[in-house]
Chain A
Amino acid sequence: MSATETVTLTIDGVAVEVPKGTGLVEAALAAGIEIPVFCYEPRLGPAVGACRMCLCQIEPGPPKPQAACTLTAQDGMVVRTALTSAVAADAQNATLEFILVNHPLDCPVCDKGGECPLQDLTFRYGPGNTRMTFPKRTFEKPIPVSPLIALDRERCILCYRCTRFSEGVAEDGQLVAVDRGAGTMIATFGDEPYRAPFSGNVIELCPVGALTSTTYRFEARPWEILDVPTVCGMCPVGCNVNATTREGNVKRILSRNHPEVDDGWLCDKGRFSYAHLHAEDRVCDPILRVRRRGFEEVSWERALDEAERLLREANGRIVTALSGSETIEEAYALGKLLRRGLGAHTAFFPEESSDALDAFRVPLSAIRDADVVAVLGDAPVVERAPIVELWIKEARRRGARVLYELDEEAVRGAETAILVWCGPGGHGGATVAVLAQRLGLSGAFYIPETANGRGVCDAWSCSDDAESASPDPIGLLIVSGDEAAANPDVRALAEKAERVLVISMFQGLAAGWADLVLPGTSYLERDGTYINLEGRVQRLRRTVIPPVPDELAWISKLAERFDVELSPYPALVFEEVSAIAFGGIPFGEIGERSPLPAATGASAQIELGEADGPAVDGGLRLVRYRPLFSGPAVERVHELDFQRPQPEAELSEEDARSLGVRNGEEITIRSNGTSVRLRARLSRELRPGVVRVSDDFAGELKPAVEISK
């Protein structure tokens, strides 16, 4: 292995050796020296040098101060920051004076106050007073950028971070700068609401209180909040987050950059769904169906008695429907109770899962560095695992070829190629593993539909070795979690079950069909672990105390009644699972930024189940997908309503051409006697022969469809 080439430079008299290509800001950091910045943010692409906060005296170079953020470390460079250079100190002081001449300084009522880079840098580098005696620039305020984001324009320091994110990272192009000079303003394109899956990131990027979240605005001050590091449980990416809590309530979700997983970005679903914790229909007490009297709230003592009775009376004829959002510990505990205590081995999983891909395990960030990324499976990546879409976009910006159909020649010809499977079929990753093996690739991903489907499946199988035939008829159906409760297939099973026990957070999902409802908790309220789509085991932390006992607490109590030994503590439960599945790593060592386990050796023969989906000859194949902004939690956050999917159907440009359909035109999609009318949206990210419609609008359509105008 060749050592990385390094350069040595001097910063404020401190010699520092850094890898070639290191930016000066980072090089200074390595020497323990701050170069203050506002506009600089390497994740947004090349430095723009706009704010002039980072001016330093640099040799070799022109005599005037240079924007350090735009330069990389060179051998022999001599950098002098405000610490040792009067020129740099004066330049930085000047920048701050200019920024402040039109800044309102309404810190006492600004949400950023106390965690504001402008406050901090002014304190460290700025003038102590102002020489500005003219009226400051003012604007109407706040301007609603969207139902989620407010803009206080007079606070904006025009660092262009938000617009660079919109244009160069999310590539939605909706946030723009209009007018020029001192009249420059941040605005949305055509003053339409900023409606895009990643919009919330601009709030975190904004170095001042110009862009604030409508849901956090005026809710807390930095000195009365507590950030709890955890991971997002809304999709299989498992972005690392901090949950900001105040007095026992989650007030906002911030990114907590895991450079291999999320690069510090979040989607709006993960960022804004936390309000579901306070949903109006949250189940806070167990609910029992009482003959002739309907449903009654009962005490936990009573509820556990009833649960015990239901379990015993079912006589082992129990089916457990899982959500894929349970923690590993919870799923293991349920499994241990039911399988060891009652011999009830039958589980209904939300989706197939496979360990075939473990041989091709690479971090998500490997997508960025690939030369070819083949996205297979036909479902939109952004709707299932939004951050993966950002990695793919970044790869494309860096020159990768992104294919939406398998071009084996291109894949074989690439130095590094990555496969991503997102869509129906796929056998939990086995299909793409077979492809990866055949093509000799080292990296492939399967994008499941649930946040912890893989973890739940593994935990369930760790909980016992025995098996049994599926019971018929079903004596008791246990519905674990809201996603299972909302799943039509689970509902159909319930029709056939004699008794139903539902664990759910929301009345709306649980009421009416269960004999017993036990209150559920959210991923933000539990301690435990998830496995994300890379195969990374990550720690969930209890960010707030839930209004109800968590699942592990009452499952362990129930287990006692069946002589099954089960700890109520996730750490201890995890150790049992870990001994079997994760090589015994202790709970405490998972860490805040968990590492990715090494890829396993390639499995000799990967088993594939039956073929994927029905073949469709003639016509088009309909791929329906669950939209990102859907599901029990999202539906309970009204600020997200505007993000719900539009009545659209995505078509490949090629099909659109042959059908004579233009972008935005109304089309009729027809199959077997049913039809829907939707707006056509042409997509370059769809192969010919496939049309994509979200579940919300696909109605009763079958997989083979025809399109007419």
Chain B
Amino acid sequence: MASEQRLIVMAGTDERDLTRLAEYEAIDGYSALQKARGMTPQAVIDDVIASELRGRGGAFFPTGRKWSFVPKPEQNPNPHYVVVNADESEPGSFKDNEIMSRVPHRFLEGCLIAAHAIESKNVFVYIRGEYTGPYEILLAALKELEGRPDLRGDVTIVLHRGAGAYICGEETALLESLEGKRGQPRTKPPFPAGQGLYASPTVVNNVETLATLPPIIEMGGAEYAKLGVPDSRGTRVVSISGHVERPGNYEIENGTSLRELIYDLGGGIPGGRDLKAVIPGGSSTVILKGDEIDVGYDFNSLLKLNTAMGSAGVVALDDRCCMVQLGIRISEFYEHESCGKCTPCREGTRWMTQILRRLESGEALQSELDLLLDVCDRINGKCLCPLGETAAVAVASYVEKFRGEFSAHVEQGGCPFGDASPLHDVLAPVAMGGHLPSAVPV
């Protein structure tokens, strides 16, 4: 189904092994960097603003605007830092893994372009500790760059491995962790742009955001902005998993319909079963019912359904799935990953899990459904960072959209699905599947 993908970030992978510098250079790799270096930093920022690129890490913040908040070296003489968020730990999301593994040089080129734009000499890549594969590939790519001062310039790129905390993907917790401190978010303001790493000007960007920069510079921002739909320009690498025939990463133009993602690219639901629900953008997003998938996969369309592209992890759930069990899975994850800094998330996620477990066991009263919703409501909007808030919003959406099923647990004194609910292979580590066209076996 490659024809329905639109390869920008992954361009060239269908013909070559782009992990190797020579191969990447053979398709004009690093020429965008040279082009950017021929431009003033401000011109690069302007071009990225023109591209309407928005962050691929989850918050979808306009990248060029973010860069424009960084003070110029004359305004702040401290070192400027580019920090790459490669901590990708959101259940359902595994795109950065494949980007780093398949187009490491395009990603590094993007880092160097960003460094030029904010006049930084230091890039830190904070990579999820479990991502040993991509780590090795990046190491090798960096080694190749070592011998190429013409490309590397005077920029230092440091790989830093995380130690297994989802919260360290939140940008300020990431910075704390990078500084060697406990991985807990900071209050904002101050924002990283002004006071980030070591209280110095810092840009934090997602892997995919950075890997999108070379094609943008190459084709020009205005050209890139022709792709996709308003407010969601360009392409997106989407991780499709769960109950689909062909789970894996796919690069699509923003605005492609969710139905196409699941039924065309993903190959539909195995065994011809019914689609019960879809998590559209990683575990943090509001769930969609099976009949809500005729929607464009873009910011505005999903916003109308109160949900978001998030970290672009699309998880399909078939009709055998128990929504209470899903709630427990998600709630346990957030309880486990809560950093413990702020009260509502730390105490609330634990309480949510306790209530959900009792619901599943069949011992809960109807009133506890409302209690659960109220606990979610009391977490939402009160936390220090989005982790707790999204946990509450996501779980509340399961109750709201599948209230009958939750009630049935109370009425029947137990779970109507029981062990038959096939959640064990959902949100678990997913084989990326190699559905992006590839010249080399994945």
Residues in chain A within 8 A of chain B (CB atoms): 47-53, 55, 64-65, 67, 70, 90-91, 94-95, 97-99, 101-102, 131-132, 134, 157-158, 160, 176-177, 179-184
Contact = CB atoms under 8 A, between A and B. Distances in A.
- The 6 A-B pairs at the shortest CB distance, nearest first, are namely A184-B340, A94-B378, A64-B381, A181-B338, A49-B187, A98-B347
Given A51-B343, A64-B382, A95-B343, 7 more contacts: A52-B383, A94-B378, A102-B350, A131-B371, A158-B341, A181-B350, A182-B340
Contacts of A94: 344, 378-379, 382
A49 B342 contact: yes
Contacts of A64: 381-382
A183 B332 CA distance: 13
Contact of A160 (B341, B358, B378): B341
Interface centre among B165, B335, B341 (most CB of A within 10 A): B341
Interface string B333-356: 001111111111011111100100
Nearest to A180: B340
Interface of B: 165, 167, 182, 186-187, 335-344, 346-351, 354, 358, 371, 378-379, 381-384
Contacts of B382: 52, 55, 64-65, 91, 94-95
A36 to B, nearest CB: 13
Contacts of B347: 98-99, 101-102, 182
Contacts of A131: 371
A134 B335 contact: no
A179 B350 CA distance: 15
Contact of B346 (A47, A70, A90, A182): A182
B97 to A, nearest CB: 24
Contact of B339 (A91, A157, A181): A181
A57 B255 CA distance: 36
Given A94-B378, A177-B182, A181-B336, A99 B384 contact: no
B339 A50 contact: no
Nearest to A134: B354
Contacts of B340: 158, 177, 179-184
A52 B187 contact: no
Contacts of A70: 187
A131 B378 CA distance: 13
Contacts of A160: 341
Contacts of B182: 176-177
A132 B351 contact: yes
Given A67-B187, A94-B378, A182-B335, A52 B349 contact: no
Interface centre among B335, B340, B344, B384 (most CB of A within 10 A): B340
A21 to B, nearest CB: 14
B350 A182 contact: yes
A157 B343 CA distance: 8
A557 B341 CA distance: 63
A608 B350 CA distance: 69
A95 B388 CA distance: 13
A208 to B, nearest CB: 13
23 contacts: A48-B187, A49-B384, A50-B341, A51-B342, A52-B383, A70-B187, A94-B379, A94-B382, A95-B344, A98-B379, A99-B343, A99-B347, A102-B347, A158-B341, A180-B165, A180-B337, A180-B340, A181-B336, A181-B338, A181-B346, A181-B349, A182-B338, A183-B340
Nearest to B336: A181
Contacts of B381: 64-65, 91
Contacts of B341: 48, 50, 158, 160
B348 A98 contact: yes
A158 B351 contact: no
Contacts of B348: 98
A229 B358 CA distance: 54
Nearest to B344: A98
Interface secondary structure of A, over-half rule: loop
A180 B384 contact: no
A179 B354 CA distance: 20
Contact of A52 (B338, B344, B371): B344
B335 A181 contact: yes
A187 to B, nearest CB: 12
Nearest to A100: B347
Contacts of A97: 378
B378 to A, nearest CB: 4
B129 to A, nearest CB: 15
Contacts of A95: 343-344, 382
A47 B165 CA distance: 24
Contacts of B358: 134
B50 to A, nearest CB: 28
B314 to A, nearest CB: 27
Contacts of B350: 101-102, 181-182
A551 B335 CA distance: 64
B337 A181 contact: yes
Contacts of B186: 48
Nearest to B187: A49
B195 to A, nearest CB: 10
A47 B187 contact: yes
A47 B382 CA distance: 16
A559 B340 CA distance: 67
A52 B381 CA distance: 11
A528 B364 CA distance: 68
Interface centre among A98, A160, A184 (most CB of B within 10 A): A98
Contacts of B378: 90, 94, 97-98
Contacts of B383: 52
Contacts of B349: 181-182
Nearest to B385: A49
Contacts of A177: 182, 340
Contacts of B342: 49-52
Interface centre among A95, A132, A176, A181 (most CB of B within 10 A): A181
A53 B342 CA distance: 10
Contacts of B346: 98, 158, 181-182, 184
A98 B384 contact: no
Nearest to B167: A180
A455 to B, nearest CB: 44
A132 B352 CA distance: 11
Contacts of B344: 52, 94-95, 98
Contacts of A99: 343, 347
Contacts of A176: 182
B394 to A, nearest CB: 17
B328 to A, nearest CB: 14
Given A52-B382, A52-B384, A98-B347, A180 B187 contact: no
A50 B358 CA distance: 29
Contacts of B351: 98, 101, 132, 134
A94 B335 CA distance: 18
Nearest to B364: A133
A181 B351 CA distance: 12
A132 B351 CA distance: 8
Nearest to B341: A50
B283 to A, nearest CB: 16
A164 to B, nearest CB: 11
Nearest to A49: B187
Contacts of B379: 94, 98
Nearest to A95: B343
A58 B350 CA distance: 29
Nearest to A98: B347
A684 to B, nearest CB: 19
Nearest to B380: A64
B120 to A, nearest CB: 23
A78 to B, nearest CB: 18
B191 to A, nearest CB: 13
Contacts of B337: 180-181
B339 to A, nearest CB: 5
B373 to A, nearest CB: 12
A338 B348 CA distance: 72
Contacts of B343: 50-53, 95, 98-99, 157-158
A105 to B, nearest CB: 14
Nearest to A62: B381
